Amino acid sequence: MVSGTGNYAGINTPIVAKAMPKRLHFNTKVLGTLAALKLMKHQVTQAIRSKKISITQVILSGQLKVGDQMEVMLDGTRIGLAEFVAIDAVTWVDLNAKDAARGGFDNVYDLEKSLQRAGYRFKPINMYQFYRIQFLWLEEEPIPEEDAEMMEGRRLW
């Protein structure tokens, strides 16, 4: 991707802007400790996002296509590399126990609480539109067991 030209030793040369890596961000305070632990163990394969979130915009604009790779981040730390599989627009009534499980939650109630912590609390949950983003892990679980044990005992606030 060329973003202009520069002058080096009297010669106009193209300036190449390095493409930013595509990243799917998660936050422990939003997920909750158990879902964050499952994410660290690569047991989460789905995220629910709004249209305003950058990864959703990147996908909808075609900058990230099915089969492309993206980094999965938890609290700003890279925890693995994943392949983007699918995205679809959904409402709360479209989501079920399988969606909750793919997101690292034990049930839809825990998923709903997580969405409320993410900001979906200012109107009834069934009035929001979400984007269901599915992915596959491309790496083995990178988290050492002692780090996973530390997460299990971690207080969020």
pLDDT, tens digit, for every residue of 53-83? 899 999 999 999 999 999 999 999 999 999 9
Is 78 part of any domain?
Answer: yes
Half-sphere exposure of 156 (CA within 13 A, CB side): 15
pLDDT, tens digit, for every residue of 37-52? 999 999 999 999 999 9
H or E element, residue 58? helix 54-60
Domain encompassing residue 135: 21-152
What is each CA distance from 112 to 8, 34, 129, in whole angstroms? 55, 15, 13
d(CA 154, CA 60): 35
The pLDDT assigned to 1 comes to 45
The pLDDT assigned to 2 comes to 44
Residues 6+ apart with CB under 8 A from 104: 31, 34, 35, 36, 38, 39, 43, 44
Q: Which residues of the chain have pLDDT under 70?
A: 1-20, 141-157
Is 2 part of any domain?
Answer: no
Q: Domain of 83: which CATH number?
A: 3.10.400
Is 12 part of any domain?
Answer: no
Is 3 part of any domain?
Answer: no
Question: Residue 75 CA to chain centroid, in angstroms?
Answer: 11
Is 6 part of any domain?
Answer: no
The count of domains in the chain is 1
pTM for the model stands at 0.78
